[in-house]
Homo-oligomer: A and B are copies of this chain.
Amino acid sequence: MSRVAIVGSGAVGCYYGARLAEAGHEVHFLMRRDYAVVAARGLRILSKDGDLHLERPHVARDSAAIGPVDWVICALKATGIEDARALVAPCVGASTRILVLMNGLGLEDRFAEWFGAERVFGGLAFTCINRGEPGTVHHIDYGPVTIGHLQDDPAEVHAGLALWAGAKVETVRAPSLLAGRWTKLCWNVPFNGLAVTAGGITTDRILADPALREAVTTLILEVAAAGNADLAAHGQTVRLDGPAIARNMVAATDAMAAYRPSTMIDFVEGLPMEVAAIFEEPLRRASALGVATPLLALVTGQMRALNARGR
């Protein structure tokens, strides 16, 4: 059993931390907003894979109170990346591994600068998890987590998957973390982007509008093309099959319940959105590599302007 620190105990961090605790790991949740509620009443998961109530989870207001662990799972919002180093550092010992369970491109590179690339993993949660009332998380649909290692070291990827072996979480191996990140962007760019720029709508309404449905596919093809150029630039041989990804992701999202992507919730609630990691960094790489991504550019500009409202 491992000692695990969840840094960033939002909906995603709480959900996966709870599943690890359920499997017997010693899981410590770093909490700010919900500390008092969870300390008093525990953490409640309402999930299609079975509900769960952790009556007395380990909660901490401060990473130093947790100290070094086997695994840090960093599930901060990407907008908080500049705070991540200070929040994670007290939990990092000589043999600590760090799983970056966040949205967007380039975040693992920051952790590698701070803590060394050999201990950095990326987790890609293709899942629908939303916060409920404080201390409650709704796991709505889907659920596999793709796990990769920043250096794509097979033994390390194996260790990354092993953590989840006894937990009620389906995991998938990412032979290339970079390819996994770009694949995840193939969903986040169109669905997070259009859910916001069409005024705060759910995924089903995006796909019900013929023009937005067409834009989803076009955006996926652009992101896949940019991803393939980036993979080539990194000397990797794996490539994304854009048309197949578009077909599969549209079909999968059609089959999902109406979903509010996290960025759309941030938008509706007036919170900072993950524009840099999900939109600007992919666009920056596409432009640097000479890949034409006109729809990505448009949505990035819209997201940037919307993110600046009232700030």
Contacts and interface: CB of A to CB of B under 8 A. Distances in A.
Contacts of A201: 305
A213 B305 CA distance: 12
A297 interface: yes
Interface in A194-247: 194, 197-199, 201, 205, 209-215, 218
Among A211, A297, A306, find the residue whose CB has the most chain B CB atoms closer than 10 A. A211
Given A302-B194, A305-B205, A297 B211 contact: yes
A264 to B, nearest CB: 12
B298 A212 contact: yes
A199 B295 contact: no
A184 to B, nearest CB: 21
Contacts of A198: 301-302, 305-306
A302 B299 CA distance: 11
A211 B211 CA distance: 21
Q: How many copies does the complex hold?
A: 2
Contacts of A285: none
Contacts of A210: 301
B215 A297 contact: yes
A300 interface: yes
Interface of A: 194, 197-199, 201, 205, 209-215, 218, 283, 294-295, 297-302, 304-306, 309
Nearest 8 interchain pairs by C-beta: A211-B301, A212-B301, A198-B305, A215-B298, A211-B297, A199-B306, A209-B301, A198-B302
25 contacts: A194-B301, A198-B302, A199-B302, A199-B309, A205-B305, A209-B301, A211-B297, A211-B301, A212-B298, A212-B301, A212-B302, A212-B305, A213-B301, A214-B297, A214-B298, A214-B301, A215-B297, A215-B298, A215-B301, A218-B298, A294-B294, A294-B295, A295-B298, A298-B298, A298-B299
